[in-house]
Every structure is written in structure tokens, then in C-alpha cells.
A and B are shown apart, each in its own frame.
Chain A
Amino acid sequence: MIRVDGNGAAGSLIQVRGLDKTYRRGNEDIDVLQGLNLDVDKGDFVAFMGPSGSGKTTLLNLMGGLDVPTRGTISVAGDEITHMSRGKLTDWRARHVGFIFQMYNLIPVLTAFQNVELPLLLTKLSKAERRKHVEVALSIVGLGERLHHYPRQLSGGQEQRVAIARAIVADPTFLLCDEPTGDLDRKSADGVMELIRRLVNEHGKTVLMVTHDPLVALQANTTLHLDKGVLVGRVSQREALHEIQQTHSG
């Protein structure tokens, strides 16, 4: 259940309260997010849409512990992350967040296996255990046969699948996807979205996704619209579908 009024249940997986983010450029303060409230439950799949500069990626970065807010709080599974030190936040990210980026961001000198193994190097798992986890993650994304391929030997869709395997291999609390299909053709994008959808439906993952593509947002349970740093609308899957059909028939 997604709520944006600041009155979500205490047991929500992610609780955002009164979130402000201001950047200073020269003498000017730029308010990127203003007084944002959000509650996301475990297993939810939320898409954020909005024009460029509306604060979508900033919100994602804040919820992923990559950046710190100017005001407000973010709690994830009971951990208040907004006041954590840089080091603690890094540890927290390793345990709780799986990142999926638009440009895949794989390490080009490592194979698919080695890229997926990266988050596990920070755990106490043995080499054999790490190997097992990596093989499972790559088989979930359908790349069990491409363990030893380098990113340059894979298609864009396959690279993004490897990135997804890297995001899920350490079994994080939630996944943050920043334009996961932004660099893919429609067919590959559909494949990636089907995979993310499966992670939600079959593996119970919580996913927060930024996208510009309404068809991609359609895969989410709820789409939230941001404009100038404020949540301006909330659209259910059914409403979004109706909206798209109208756009295409018009």
C-alpha cells in the first residue's frame, strides 16, 4: 500500500517524512524536493514519473542512501538512515539496497560472474558459497550460460540482466531502478521489465523505479508523478493503462 500523505502505517518498509533537498548553485538555492512524504510497504512496486529536473533521481538517491536530505527523515525497515555517518550508510547500502542503473554500470574488465560477485565480496561468504549465489542470481535473470562473458560480449539487454543479477545477489531489502530500460530497445526493455515484475511477484521484492516511459511505468503497481520536487499525482495501474489507451486512440 503506497501512501503519500504522511499517515502510513508504522510498519511500512520505507517511510519518508517531510523530505527536502536543496542544492546551492552559486548564490542561488535550488529546491529539488519539497516536503515529500511517502510510505512503501514490502512487496510494492512503485514507479516515479515526471519531467526532467522534477526530482525523481534525487528522491531515489536519497532513499538509496547515496545522498543526504537537507531536511526530513527516511526510515527503511526501522533504520533511520538520514543521520547515519558516511561509513554506516555504506554498510547499510550493502545490506539493504540493490541498484539498477540506466547505463548498466558493469565493470568492463570483469566477467558477468565477477560483476555479480562484487556485492558478495563484502560478505563473509566462502568462495564456494559466493559461487552458488552468483550462479543462482544469473540463472534467475536467464544468463546461467554466460558466466564468463565480459560486458562487451553481451547485448544491452543482457548487460542489464547482469546488472539486475548483481542487484539481487545479496538479497537486498529493496531494489532501486533508475531508468532501467532507458538505454534499451523495446524488445529488450520488455524482457527487462518482465524480469523485474517477476522479482516482485515471485520473489516478493520491493521495487522503486524512475522512468520516463509510461509503458514501463505500467508494469508498476502504482505510479507517482513528481513535478518541481512535489508529488503531484498518483495513478493506479488501471488508470495508467486507460491514460495510455486514450493517448494512442487520440
Chain B
Amino acid sequence: MKFSRLILANLFRKKTRLILTIGSFAVALFLFALLGVVNDAFSRGADVVSADRLVTINRTSIINTIPLSYRDEILRIPGVKYITHNNWFGGVYQDPKNFFPQFVIDPENQRQVFPELIVPDDQWNTFLKDRQGAIVGAATMLRFGWKIGDRIPITTTIYGLAGKPFEFNIDGVYHGEKPEDDETQFWFQWEYFKESVPNSIQGQVGWYVVRMANPDDAPRIAKAIDNMYMNSPYETKTETESAFAQGWVKQFGNIKFLILSIGTVVFFTLLLVTGNTMAISVRERTNELGVLKAIGFSDRIVLGFVLSESIVIALAGCVGLLLAVVCIPMVGRALAGLLPPLFVTAKTLAYGVIAAIAVGFASGILPAYGAMRLSVVSALRRV
């Protein structure tokens, strides 16, 4: 602590350079947080899924349907506790840019399979009695300023229903148990959907979600389901909800690799810029470092000074992370519906701080080592 004044005095020696260097860190860390948030948004499905759930889809593709009759057969497999089914509705509310996911649900079992998405009982009971009822995620309610009791028209272009508007009554709102839970979905009744679609689709569901008594049974149950329908017209593919979510994200391309590549380039550039700045800073005060050594400051203390300076700059650059905490949710709200909820997690912040310290250390180590090895006599000769 007694050296802190010297370290700070050296840092503030060239204020413009200090501000620009901290600014470089701040911009890089802001970008880091943004990339982290996008990555989180895409992989959140895989992160927040429950370990005790399986997803069964048509083996050919998720856009192909599977018979409703499978429900009771799957439910009889030992270890299966609950099963529910969903269909993708693909509707448009007023304008295609107002996207949010709408699911046809099985009201009897939805809450048993997804207990983390909480609907108050009174609202749920109203929904059960209302053929045109809908339960909407809190984020979507907020996005469109909807209230319970509002009547919402939605049209879909699939299932041969083009141009035919569906009217829904908002009977309730669900909230996620955790902040990362998806609160953008729109649920409505299977019966309402079934009576509107052509006969060929009436007995078909998009996918099943199975809740198991014991997550350890996942491989056995998945195998049992798929074996049951092997060589049938509707073969199935069953996997854990996590694997399903990861597969879904993969359809967007290798987001993680892309983000990692951009992040690596940004931090490598930052490393070079900061390293160069620190090298210039050390070269400018070679004589002063020589004086410090002459009066008894050890090589290690001198090394510590230079390293401390670069790490302090890096930590000051963490203001970029704070900016991200404030700004990214605003961006998220502006993009609501296009991406899952955007927010900076504590994990991203912690990684950001660690990355900043690592870059600060790496950019300072060579100049610091040079300062440490500096010969006093030759340093004193330099003016």
C-alpha cells in the first residue's frame, strides 16, 4: 500500500494516454460482455433445461409431426412421470417483426412438466375453462403492453390456416423461477388448435416433452421410446432436453466458435496495444527506474510497479463491463422477441474481470521484465 502513491502518480503522468488505454480496455470488455451475452442467449436453452426432461421429435425433422396416440403409450414406460405435447404455431401479431414464440399446449400436463414456469392458480383455472384462452410470458406482456383480459388476434401461415385470424383472450401470465428462464412464450389450448386445423393434422403433435422420475433413467427411457416406434411411419428421436437445446442452437451455426474467434482477436489486439503502451511508458522513464534501483528498490519491486500499473489500467477498463450491465438490457428490450432476454450474468462479469487481469498481466510482463533486468549504470546514463 505504501507504494500505491508512486504507482498512481506514474499512471497519471500522461493523462491522455491513460484515458485512451483505459478506453481500449473498456471497449474491449464491453464487446466481451456483449459477445458473452449473445452466447448465453443462444446457449441458455441448454443451460436452463431440466435434467429430468426428455424431448421426443419426429426422427426425420422437428417440422414433421408425430401422432397424439403416442402420448399414452410413452406414459406407460416405467420411469416416465408426466408427458405433455406442444405444436409450433408460427403466428404473426400485427407485423412479422413482432415475433414471439407461440406454442399449442396440452393444458392437463403443461405445468407438471414445466414446473419452473409459474402461473398463479386462479389464472390457470380461468385458462382451463376458456377455449380461446392464452397464457403469456411476462416479457411478452411487457413488450406489447398487454393486460390480462386483452383480446389478441394472431394469424399463422402454416397448417393451411393462412389468412384466418385466431383470437385469444389473455387469461394469465407466467413467470420463470430463474431470471434466465424464457418469459417470451405464448401458450394456448390444444382443443382450440385442433378444431381449427385440417383433419390430417388434428391427431398430430409437434413434439413430446417427457418428465422422468429419475434423471439417471434418461438413456433407458429414450431408447425405449425410440425402439417402440422403430420402423413405424413416424419414427421418433428422443434425447435429453439439454441435447435437444444444443441441437437447436447448432442450427444457427457455430455461434460459440464465432464468438470465441471475435473475442480472441479483440483481446489479442488489446494485448498488443497495451503492451506497446507499457513498453513506451517504461522506456520514457528508464532513468527514473535507474534512480529507484540506485536508492535501493529491488528488481522485484520495480517489476511489481510496472505490472501493477498495467493491471490497474486493466481493472479501470472494467468500467466497460459496468456499461454493458446498464446498456445491454436496453438493447435486449429493443430486440425483444428476436433474441431471448439479454442480460449480463455474474459469470460473464467474472470472466470479464479475469480476462482483463490476464491481458493486463500479459501486456505488462515483458516491459516489467525489461525494467527488472535494467542495469542501474546504463539506466542512469539515459536522460
Contact = CB atoms under 8 A, between A and B. Distances in A.
Interface of A: 61, 64, 66-67, 86-87, 90-91, 93-95, 99, 101, 103, 105, 107-110, 114, 118-119, 121-122, 127, 166
A122 B13 contact: no
4 nearest A-B pairs in the assembled complex, by CB-CB distance: A94-B296, A109-B9, A105-B291, A66-B376
Contacts of B237: none
Contact of A90 (B13, B288, B299): B299
Nearest to B13: A109
Contact of A110 (B2, B9, B298): B9
Contact of B295 (A67, A99, A114): A99
Contacts of A122: 296-297
Contacts of A90: 293, 296-299
Contacts of A87: 298-299
B295 A94 contact: yes
Contacts of B12: 109
B346 interface: no
Contacts of A95: 296
Contact of A66 (B13, B288, B292, B377): B377
A95 B295 CA distance: 9
Given A66-B376, A109-B12, A99 B294 contact: yes
Given A107-B6, A107-B9, 16 more contacts: A64-B294, A86-B299, A87-B298, A87-B299, A94-B296, A94-B297, A99-B295, A101-B291, A103-B383, A105-B288, A105-B291, A105-B380, A107-B288, A108-B13, A109-B10, A166-B295
A91 B298 contact: yes
22 contacts: A61-B377, A67-B377, A87-B298, A90-B297, A93-B296, A94-B296, A99-B295, A101-B380, A103-B383, A105-B287, A105-B291, A107-B9, A107-B292, A108-B13, A109-B10, A109-B12, A110-B9, A118-B295, A118-B297, A119-B295, A121-B6, A127-B2
B252 interface: no
A93 B9 contact: no
Contacts of A166: 295
Interface of B: 2-3, 5-6, 9-10, 12-13, 287-288, 291-299, 376-377, 380, 383
A179 to B, nearest CB: 12
Nearest to A103: B383
Nearest to B11: A109
Nearest to A90: B298
Contacts of B383: 103
B15 to A, nearest CB: 11
A67 B297 CA distance: 15
A64 B297 CA distance: 14
Contacts of A91: 296, 298
Nearest to B10: A109
A121 B13 contact: no
A121 B6 CA distance: 10
A90 B290 CA distance: 12
A118 B13 contact: no
A93 B296 CA distance: 6
Among A95, A109, A114, A122, chain B packs the most CB atoms within 10 A around the CB of A109
Contacts of A109: 9-10, 12-13
A110 to B, nearest CB: 6
A119 B287 contact: no
Contacts of B3: 121
B374 to A, nearest CB: 11
A110 B4 CA distance: 12
Contacts of B376: 66-67
B363 to A, nearest CB: 21
Nearest to A163: B291
A118 B377 CA distance: 19
A86 B293 CA distance: 11
Nearest to B296: A94
A122 B6 CA distance: 13
A52 to B, nearest CB: 14
Contacts of B298: 87, 90-91
Nearest to A94: B296
Nearest to A109: B9
A64 B295 CA distance: 10
A119 B301 CA distance: 13
